[in-house]
Amino acid sequence: MIKNLTFLFLISLALGCSSDDSNVDSPENNETELVLVKKITETVYYDNQEEVLASNFTYENNKLVKIDNGSDYDLRITYDGNKVLFSKGYVNNQLNSTSSYIYEGDNLVKIQMESSEKAELTYVNGNLASISYYSGYNDSWSLLGKETYTFNNGNISQVIDQNSNGGMNSTSKSTYVYGSGKNPFKDLNFYLRLTLEFEGIHPLNTNIATSSNYFNNLEATTPSSQFTFQTIYNSENFPTEIKRYDNSNNLLTKTAIEYY
* pLDDT tens by residue, 125-183: 888 999 999 998 777 899 999 999 999 999 999 999 999 866 678 999 999 999 999 99
Q: Tell me whether strands 49-60 and 63-68 are parallel, antiparallel or unpaired.
A: antiparallel
Q: Is residue 189 part of a domain?
A: yes
State the pTM of this model.
0.86
Cross-strand bridge partners of residue 254: 43, 243
Classify residue 5: in a domain, yes or no.
Answer: no
| pLDDT greater than 70 at residue 37 | yes
What domain range includes position 62? 10-259
CA separation for the pair 245, 243 (Å, rounded): 7
**How far does Cα 254 stand from its chain's mean position?**
16
Please check the confidence at residue 17 and state whether its pLDDT lies above 60: no
* CATH number of the domain to which 117 belongs: 2.40.160
Give the H or E element holding residue 231.
strand 225-233
Residue 246 lies in a domain: yes
Domain assignment present for 1: no
For residues 189-214, b (16+ Cβ closer than 10 Å) or e, as one string? Answer: bbbbbbbbbbbbbbbbbbbbbbbbbb
In a domain, 3, yes or no: no
User: Is residue 96 situated within a structural domain?
Assistant: yes
Indicate whether 238 belongs to any domain.
yes
Number of domains forming the structure of the chain: 1
Cα separation, 225 vs 203, whole angstroms: 23
Instruction: Tell me how far apart the alpha carbons of residues 17 and 2 are, in angstroms, rounded to a whole number.
Output: 4
Tell me the residue length of the chain. Answer: 260
